[in-house]
Structure 1
Amino acid sequence: MNPVDSGRPAEARAVASGERGAIRIADRVVAKIASQAAREALEAGVPDSTPPHAGVLVSHETTRVRVSLELPYPSDIGGQCAAVRRHVTERVGKLAGIRVSEVAVHVERLHLAHAHDAAQGRTR
């Protein structure tokens, strides 16, 4: 018998040390993970745009995520939103250990790709 465990009841000794206790991850931490995952999912960011922002609603070990972002136009908006949903679900699940039940993507603004080129002095 381990001398450290000798004074504890048998029930406490039977539970492995890594299985005792609880972890609570703050909602703002989950939101930060979701925001970063949305950034990672967008291959090319839009210059001078606001980075993606996420809000979450965590209940027990499940979360609903809402991501607000800006996208370039013209582009495959549906494809980019689907990529954000997949990546946010994967990263939040892996890093926070929380199941994501829903990812709602809100496109707040579209940036014209040629408007940025014109501002740089280039023409098409």
Structure 2
Amino acid sequence: MSAPAPRATPPLVAAADRGATRIADRVVAKIAAQAAREALDALPGKAPQAAVTVHHDIARVRISLELAYPCDLAAQCAAVRRLVALRVEECAAMSVPEVDIEIEHLHPASLRPAPAGRERRLR
């Protein structure tokens, strides 16, 4: 009888190549909603809400928010889009080809809180 042939040791595989990391859609949505809050700099009203669809490493994001009015709505939305895409790419390593924004409500600018250190006087 012959002795069994020795088994070959499998080559070592780097940890990054051995498995997969999956980030849940709801986690990506929380990252996107927080980024939208940061971009809007604490405006009054309901906090931004995000819905996300992830396919492989591509996230499509939809943000629902409320804005102060009058303001440059296009500039506000552009700032939200930029920061949401940046944060999702940084934190979740996903590309964000589109960020759709739905403005649900406009608040009069007079309801905005006064800047710190300034008091409003009524006459």
Aligned to 2:90: 94
**Stretches of structure 2 lacking an aligned partner (at least 5 in a row):** 1-7, 113-119
Alignment counterpart, residue 111 of structure 1, candidates 100, 107, 110: 107
Output the TM-score relative to the length of structure 2: 0.81
CA distance in 2, matches of 1:58, 1:32: 13
1:18 paired with 2:40, answer no
Mapping of 1:45-84 within 5 angstroms?
45-46=43-44, 49-84=45-80
**Stretches of structure 1 lacking an aligned partner (at least 5 in a row):** 1-6
Determine which structure has more spread, i.e. the larger CA radius of gyration: 2
Identity of aligned residues (%): 55
Aligned to 1:9: 10
Pick the structure with more helix per residue: 1
Output the TM-score relative to the length of structure 1: 0.80
Q: CA RMSD in A?
A: 2.1
Alignment counterpart, residue 35 of structure 1, candidates 33, 36, 39: 33
Q: What's the secondary structure of 1:86's corresponding residue?
A: helix
- Aligned residue-pair number: 110
Aligned to 1:3: none
CA distance in 1, matches of 2:69, 2:9: 65
